[in-house]
Structures are given as structure tokens and as C-alpha cells.
Amino acid sequence: MTSMDLITFSQTEQIKQESLTVEAASLYRAFEEVKDGRGKKGRRYPLAFILTLIMLGKMAGQTKIKGIIKWVKERKKDLKMILNWPKDFPSQKAYTHALTHCDSQEIARAIAKVIINARSAKQASDQMNKEDKESNAEEDKLVQIAMDGKTLRGTGAP
């Protein structure tokens, strides 16, 4: 049996921790660009689907393939709905076979692309929120005074 370590990136010091929203569909689209090295007979499940499940499991904190499979099984109903997947889910053998027949650098590039897109979307959203806050601050600075005609003519009671 093949022993697999699911760490794609080398261990480095984390400089800045940030929270990003990543949709499963964007992961799937990015993983569709990864070349599938499996033979035609070994393609019961699309590579993009398998890699998406692995990445979702990794983002949920699973580090081993068995943990990812268990995580997927526990969320089978929700994942079928989110990913619009009508069939059953892959076995451990399918995950292992798919991972051994694809390039880890291509996977890393696909993940990086998703992260870059998520960061861009977050920055655009943050910029819009900043502009809205600045606009609201300018509006708050405006002073409104309401006076009736008697007050203006000086005939009104103080």
C-alpha cells in the first residue's frame, strides 16, 4: 500500500493569517485544469471532483486520506447538493489512484489561482466597504437645520 502525505506545499513560516471565502465550485473549476494522468479505465470519477473533495477535507482540518474520506462520508448529503453530484463518492483506492497519477505542481498552481481570486474578491469588497464608510462619514458631517418662516423673520417666540 502506498503511504501518502497530503501536504502539497513545503513547510514555511506563516507570515500573515487571513480568512478567505472559497466556493467549492471555484475549486472544482480550477482543478479541471489539472492534467489527469490516469488511463481511461481508471476514470470513474473526474479528477477535479476527487481533488475538490480532498481540498474541502483539508480545509476542514483533515490531514490524512482516511480522515478526508470519513469527513466526506459524514457530509455526503450536503456535498451531493452543493457539488450537484448524483453518484456515490470515491473509495480510498480511487483517491490514491488519482493522486498518484497527477502532478502536485499543477495542483499547487490550481490552488494558488483560487486563493489569488479569493483575495482579489476580498480586496475589492474591502475597497467598496471603505468607500461606503468614507461616503457615510462625509454625509454625517453635513449639518441640517430646519427653520420655519417666523424664525427667519425674527417674529417667532424664542
CB-based contact 26:114 (threshold 8 Å): yes
Question: Which 8-state DSSP code applies to residue 84?
Answer: T
Nine-digit cell at 149? Answer: 418662516
Instruction: Show the cell assigned to 101.
Output: 497519477
**pLDDT tens-digit map of 120-149:** 877 777 777 776 666 665 555 555 555 566
Looking at the chain, which runs of residues are DSSP E strands? none
Give the pTM.
Answer: 0.65
Q: Could you read off the pLDDT of 28-70 as tens digits, one per residue?
A: 888 999 999 888 886 889 999 999 999 889 888 898 999 999 9
